[in-house]
Amino acid sequence: MTMMIDKQNPVILASASPRRRELIRLLGIPVRSEAAGGSEQITTTCPWEAVEQLSEQKAREIALANPGQTVIGADTVVACDGRIFGKPGNEQEAYQMLHTLQGKTHQVYTGVTILSISSDGREMRKTFHEETAVEVYPMSDEEIWNYIKTGEPMDKAGAYGIQGSFCLFVRSIRGDYLNVVGLPVARLYHEMKEWKLL
């Protein structure tokens, strides 16, 4: 079973995230987006295992609906003090997350699954994760609430977007910056190259 990528058979990104759509275009290949709508379930408290599970669930939902096409699923979480942070459900949750992260180093994990399922059920799959450490300056309550009022935190894991005004509070990064944005493009490129997809 081989996976062909061309204009008639583009890669499908199993995500509605505008950030991931923008990042995956850096690969220079035909891509279209189709958001997975199924419920996400994790069976672990380990953050890197969780993002791998979630990325595979997203990719599998879309791959089953698009036999023979290459699908890429991704999911990002923030981990700090033994807790996993996804997207905040409201401003108070965003405050609690940011209050936990300020003045500390936390980890950002993105899981990625590349998957193709043929019409007869055969599949090719590769799942991996990338980890980036982010150190945040101390933030006052006023700074946290002012940032929340920008609206940036509400659709982002850990309640912040490193590419936005939160950059004012990032002291250091160890690892892939784009992983924090939402997709480790360099790792994805090399994994796809290894599979002869690029």
Task: Choose the catalytic residue: 75, 81, 141, 155.
Answer: 75
Is 176 among the catalytic positions? no
Residues 6+ apart with CB under 8 A from 144: 95, 98, 99, 102
Instruction: Kindly list the catalytic residues.
Output: 75
